[in-house]
Structure 1
Amino acid sequence: MPWIILAFLVLIIQIIAIIITEYRRPDKAAAWIMILFMIPLIGFLPYYFIAKRYTRHHILSQNEYSQRESFKADLIYRCNQRIHGLADTVSRNSKLHNLLQNKLTLPLTACNETTVYTETEVAFKAMLESIAAAKHHIHMEFYIIRDDELGTQIKQLLIQKAQEGVKVRLLYDGIGSRRLGKAFLEQLQEAGVEIGCFSPPLTAFFQRQLNYRNHRKIVVVDGKTGFLGGLNIGDEYLGKDPSFGYWRDTHFSMKGDAVLWIQYTFLTDWYMVKGQLLTDSTYIPVQDNQGREIIQIVKSGPDETILELIFTLIISAKQRIYIETPYFIPDPGVLLAIKTAVMGGVDVRIIIPGTPDKKLVYYCSLSYVQELLQAGVRFYCYQKGFLHAKVLISDDLACSGSTNMDLRSFCDQFELNAIFFDRKTVNRLADDFFADLSVSNEIVQSEFEKQPALQKIKEVFARLLSPFF
């Protein structure tokens, strides 16, 4: 009997600890408490190692902090000089900018030129050509890097450029690239490529940082050409995995002042992983591009959430909200914002994959469909292959990059996105959205409500676990 009382007291203490720690996220607290009841006492162990609040890997010294702030201030000044006279136009036309001008940490940038890639083969070709033309440095950062045909091709090119004297730096995520072998990395290092791993699994486990992943996808060449979007490095992204088939993604290349902030993001991540503060002016050259686009780069993570941006994009819409995402798990605020928008007459359409890559996450996404269908949202399942594009269009603005429409991307992962103000780019993304609609099946509410009871049970169970996704 005493050991039963002791076990009960321990369980109560664990529940209290979770409530105190997660009081800002009641949904997350409820999910962890459910785990405790499913696997009493033991259930606290994964919470202990996974749910710790984020803490920075490296703390800047006073001198390093001054250098970084001076470096950032110089970039902001340069960008403000180039955008002078244009920002007011954006402000008048964008409620989003008015609401978040004091929230986003990076400024508007001018003189940009964007290329949108929806065909992954074309995107990788452009990246490889840009890397091959590098003269000074190549900075790359990916969540997933695979030792397959595409990975080998990129590895060989990086080795070649390093041997030519180009400075090559590569960052990868320890969990996302956990299958990447030592031989792959050693060949790069032997050629002179500098490599950093964001939170190696074992280190992340003991530091209780497993939940915080670097999901960014960055390539910067000579500080003048930047790539970001949804693509990682692996053959499946070229449609070579038969379980997925055709891979539909959205990726971008940019020239202009926006590249400075893609570079800034890489350099801050490099410091986070390697402890090396790179502020040399050669990494932030004067941008001679004379494009006409205004772009705002948005870096986010557990210490600077993107949730406010997503919420504001939705509530500021007057005519249309188009969303494409492989994972649709909105937080309660975003869910309410979507419902409010559609009930206010906004045309809200959401495309999700018809073929999932993660069944549990897919069931969780479906659990939100019925209540949003009832509110008036139109849902579509993409049928051509696997949909991995991450795009949100709000009236005449678009936001795209590495962020999924899920809780993990909102609050726990390091992401990189861009807000596009240029009508040409926004229209291109809208055209791509409607092209995807043409190969998608609309979910009809009356049919969806007839789904088997087992399916509904799976959705309910997945929804309860959604704070972990």
Structure 2
Amino acid sequence: MRFRRPEWTVGNRLELLENGEAYFPAVFSAVEAAQREVLIETFILFEDKVGLALRDVLVAAARRGVEVHMTVDGFGSPTLSQDFVGSLTDAGVRLHVFDPPPKLSRRLKPFRRLHRKIVVVDGSTGFIGGINFSADHLLDFGPEAKQDYAVRIHGPIVAQLRRATRKLMAPVLPKRRWWPHRSGTDAADNAFPVPPVAGTAKSMVVTRDNHRHRDDIERMYRLALHAAQHEVIIANAYFFPGYRLLKSMQRAAQRGVAVHLILQGQPDIPAARWAAHMVYDLLMRSGVHIHEYCERPMHGKVALVDDVWATVGSSNLDPLSLSLNLEANLIIQDADFNTALRNKLTPLMRDACVKLELSQTAANRWWWRLGVGALVFHVMRHFPRWLARLPAGQQAILPAADTPVVVSATEHPAAEAWQWQRGIQRLRRESAD
């Protein structure tokens, strides 16, 4: 497929979806209505009640003749049972695994992962955001349920989302006949017409890879911060930005923009909070307001600037997302969408967050703060260049049945046992109820 630069597309209708309660029914409904094609990318797919529900709607779609492709990450979805995979493939679902690790070293390959979360149905309905197919995105999961967001899309921008998804899946998609009059374009790319105008939102799909689009998402954030005049709200799960993005936030606050960061107060990865605290001091001294979300783990990756710019996607503001992983964000220019997003984030800041004071940052609590602060500052300044030197060869996408990701339910390695024990215990409780 030809290289395409991100481009603005007008005439879209966007709907903000909060948490699994809104996202999963919307996706399942779209798949149930599919007639020709379903494309899915996800970092995590678990065999809990969400994964099983997804399997059921995909199997039903495939059996009525819909072409269904789903790609999961080999690290994020480390173990899928033979029965689960078999039920999908027997129905005709094509399940692929991105960069499956060797069985004995699956925990030693966390870099350059497929972290995108995308769904495209019949080339006319799209979804993008930060929500995986797992039950921990539902509120009834309990205190560890994640707070997150996604967008349902109608309009011409869905064609961009479909192209991005098919480009990733190209190695495992069925080979099509190449017709001379298409000038080197895969006929499948033109199988669906560009969707008609559905609304007024202007948007673009921006991806991050390790070849032509290494810093596209970070650059979009920096451009938006540079243009900000009144307000910036960023809600992000894992926060350890590079030097340039950090300086953009500081400069926006220093010229009078109200910059608010909603970050993790109860992270699912404790080290993430420690890393974030290392930059709090620098930001707060510039006037940035930091709010720690304390109800549940914050898993969102969203932001808004004034009434003119917003983003929802899979990219965190940390080294993995900004310098290693494959990511995808939707960039939005639409006042109505910004209002909807602001109406979700403002109550979060007011009612579910603790606003930090400068005296509460880790740099002010520890006697060795000066040395650590200097070290962190220089790491942030140089880490994108360091990480870019890691090998970035073409990662494989393979049929799930040909990878060590597929194991029987009794063969899960000890490193993943806690995930499965938690899921099995929960399913047993639900069955008993």
TM-score range, shorter chain: 0.7 to 0.9
Question: 2:43–2:132: 8 Å Cα contact kept in structure 1?
Answer: yes
Corresponding residue to 1:266 among 165, 176, 179: 165
Which structure: larger Rg?
1
Equivalent in the alignment of 2:282: 371
Q: CA deviation at 1:151?
A: 0.2
**CA–CA separation in structure 2 for the residues paired with 1:403 and 1:317:** 20
What one-letter code is carried by the residue in structure 2 that aligns with 1:287?
P
Distance in 2 between residues matched to 1:164 and 1:351, nearest whole Å: 44
Distance change (3 Å), C-alpha of 1:214 and 1:377: same
Deviates more, 1:252-261 or 1:269-278: 269-278
Q: Offset at 1:341?
A: 1.3
Structure 2 equivalent of residue 14 of structure 1: none
8 A Cα contact 2:151 2:312, kept in partner: no
Q: Which residue of 1 aligns with 2:183?
A: none
> Which amino acid letter does the alignment assign opposite residue 214 of structure 1?
L
1:310 matched to 2:218:
no
Aligned pairs for 1:124-143 within 5 A: 124-143=24-43
Distance between the aligned counterparts of 2:9 and 2:274, measured in 1? 40
Match of 2:153 among 236, 254, 275: 254
Deviations 1:286-343 (A, max 9, x none): 4134312111111222220222222222222122221100111110111111111111
Deviation at 1:276, TM superposition (A): 5.0
Tell me: CA distance 1:366–1:130, structure 2 relative to 1, closer, same or farther (3 Å).
same
> Is residue 2:329 matched to residue 1:417?
yes
CA contact under 8 A between 2:11 and 2:197: conserved in structure 1?
A: yes
**Corresponding residue for 1:151?**
51
Is the contact between residue 222 and residue 283 of structure 1 (CA under 8 Å) also seen in structure 2? no
Matched, 1:201 2:101: yes
Confirm or deny: 8 A CA contact 1:363 1:459 kept in the other structure.
no
Q: 1:443 aligns with which of 346, 356, 367?
A: 356
List runs of 5+ in structure 2 lacking aligned partners: 177-185, 388-433
Cα 1:440–1:289 change in 2 (3 A) is: same
Following superposition, the deviation at residue 383 of structure 1 comes to 2.1
Match of 1:299 in 2: 207
Residue 453 of structure 1 corresponds to 366
- Is the alpha carbon distance of 1:336 and 1:451 closer, same or farther for their aligned partners in structure 2, counting shifts above 3 Å? closer
Distance 1:406 1:279 in 2: 38
Q: CA, structure 1 residues 221+363, in 2 after alignment: closer, same or farther (shift >3 Å)?
A: same
The amino acid of 1:442's aligned partner reads K
Match of 2:318 in 1: 406
CA contact (8 A) 1:314 1:394 kept: yes
Contact 1:373 1:445 in 2 (8 A): yes
Aligned AA for 1:262?
Answer: L
Change (3 A) 1:331 1:139: same
**Any idea what SS the aligned residue of 1:201 has?**
coil
In structure 1, the residue matched to 2:343 is 431
Structure 1 residues 147, 449: closer, same or farther in 2, change over 3 A?
Answer: closer
Aligned match of 1:284? 192
Count of aligned positions: 367
Aligned residues: percent identity?
A: 24
In the alignment, which residue of structure 1 is the partner of 2:255? 344
User: CA contact under 8 A between 2:277 and 2:361: conserved in structure 1?
Assistant: no
Contact 2:143 2:296 in 1 (8 A): no
Whole-angstrom distance in 2 between the partners of 1:244 and 1:144: 16
1:163 matched to 2:63? The reply is yes
Give 1:265 deviation, angstroms: 0.9
Aligned CA RMSD, in angstroms, stands at: 2.9
Report 1:162-241 matches (<5 A).
162-202=62-102, 211-241=111-141
Paired residues of 2:229 and 2:257 also in contact (CA < 8 A) = yes
Please say if residues 281 and 363 of structure 2, whose CA atoms lie closer than 8 Å, have aligned partners that are also in contact. Answer: no
Give 3-state SS (helix, strand or coil) of 2:44's partner.
coil
Query: Any idea what SS the aligned residue of 1:446 has?
Result: helix
Q: How far is 1:241 from its partner? A: 3.7
**Secondary structure, in 3 states, of the residue corresponding to 2:148?**
strand
* Structure ranking higher on relative contact order (CA contacts 8 Å, 6+ apart): 2
Q: C-alpha separation between the residues in 1 aligned to 2:369 and 2:80?
A: 37
- Residue 275 of structure 1 deviates from its aligned partner by 8.4
CA contact (8 A) 2:148 2:299 kept: yes
CA shift at 1:210, angstroms? 5.2
Question: Deviations along 1:108-154, whole A, 9 cap, x unmatched?
Answer: 11221011111421111111111111111111110110011110011
5+ residue gaps in structure 1? 1-67, 74-104
- Counterparts of 2:103 and 2:157 in 1: how far apart (Å)? 33
Give the 3-state SS of the residue equivalent to 1:314 in structure 2. helix
1:55-84 alpha-carbon deviations (Å, 9 max, x no partner): xxxxxxxxxxxxx23xx78xxxxxxxxxxx
Residue 102 of structure 2 aligns to a residue in which SS? helix
Specify whether residues 276 and 307 from structure 1 end up closer, same or farther in structure 2 by C-alpha distance, changes over 3 A only. Answer: farther
Matching residue's letter, 1:263 = R
Shift of 1:272: 4.6
Q: In structure 2, what residue type is equivalent to 1:410?
A: L
Render the CA deviation track for 1:76-119: whole Å, top value 9, x for unaligned.
Answer: xxxxxxxxxxxxxxxxxxxxxxxxxxxxx122112210111114
SS at match of 1:248: coil
